[in-house]
Amino acid sequence: MSQKEISRNKAFGGHVVKYEHESVELSCNMKYNVFLPKEAEQGNVPAIYFLSGLTCTEDNFIQKSGALAEAAKHGIALIAPDTSPRGVNIEGDNDSWDFGTGAGFYLDATAPKWAKHYRMYSYITKELPDLVNNQLPIDGSHVSIMGHSMGGHGALTIYLKNLTSYKTVSAFSPIANPINCPWGQKAFSNYLGPNQDEWKQYDTVELLKKLNNLRINVLVDVGTADNFLERELKIDTLKQTVQDLGRSHEWEIRYQDGYDHSYFFISSFITDHIQHHVQYLKQ
């Protein structure tokens, strides 16, 4: 598999590079951004994957989160993929902002209409890492994952389903219990069909109930002024599930007073999240 460099900008001693490649999993052309710290000029470096939320592209996190300075400080790469396949021209994929284009929900669709292209789970967990590890100075044995909103859902579920592949996980404002919120129900019913047992494999709360005894380490931040806190995110449900399962020592769930759902919130706490990941990536 080959990729084409689209742009390169120097930042904090390293470079932000945008690549384009043909995705086999998604059957379309895809782009992603990577921040390579200066240490990548000398050899492979650890990396954090960041999964963005609804309506976002590969650019939002890299340009708006303020993560580059802290990543550069620790010699960590940042990898920011897109949020869905692009330009696949499926009827209805551009009808709403919370489904279809920009809203892949990091799952592998099984409903026939969507199954060919909407395979973001396999893209994130298999195809993109294979490409990155083979063609960039990334240490594939020292990677972790984080995300925001829909991407927080993606990061948590991908981590819980692939514990040996990622050193740790963190999330901003994740959709924690999508089978019980409007965003998740809309996406899952269309991508996966009516069988709710299938939905549970992409739900953090449900995955936690079946988790083995491997020790995990998770940081979650959410703002108390987040407009989606009660209706869509279900963080209270996540926190209660963690407590009921006796796993509170593995989860740091923080309610940040007065913060909303925006990148102003992410940029306010991104340093904490990078430092959380560094603890485990440098081991």
Domains of the chain by residue range: 3-281
Catalytic residue among 148, 153, 261, 273: 261
Q: Which two tokens stand for residue 22?
A: 């043909």
Q: What are phi and psi of 9, to 5 degrees?
A: -130, 130
Q: How confident is the model at residue 259 (pLDDT cuts 50, 70, 90)?
A: very high
pLDDT at position 215 is 83
**pLDDT tens digit string along 2-24?**
899 999 999 999 999 999 999 99
| % of the chain exceeding 90 in pLDDT | 97
- pLDDT score at 1: 72
Active-site option among 144, 226, 273, 276: 226
* Predicted confidence (pLDDT) at residue 238 exceeds the cutoff of 80: yes
Q: Is 216 exposed, middle or buried (0-12, 13-18, 19+ CB in 10 A)?
A: middle
Active site residue 149: yes
246 pLDDT exceeds 90? yes
Say how far apart CA 235 and CA 252 lie, in whole Å.
12
The pLDDT of residue 95 is 95
pTM: predicted TM-score of the whole model, two decimal places: 0.98
CA nearest 108: which of 169, 152, 154, 61?
154
Question: For this structure, is 173 an active site residue?
Answer: no
144-184, pLDDT tens digit by residue?
A: 999 999 999 999 999 999 999 999 999 999 999 999 999 99
CATH architecture assigned to 3-281: 3-Layer(aba) Sandwich (3.40)
Q: Is 283 a residue whose pLDDT tops 90?
A: no
Q: Is 260 considered catalytic here?
A: no
Mean per-residue pLDDT, 252-256:
98
Active-site hit among 65, 149, 170, 173: 149
What's the whole-number mean pLDDT along residues 214-221? 92
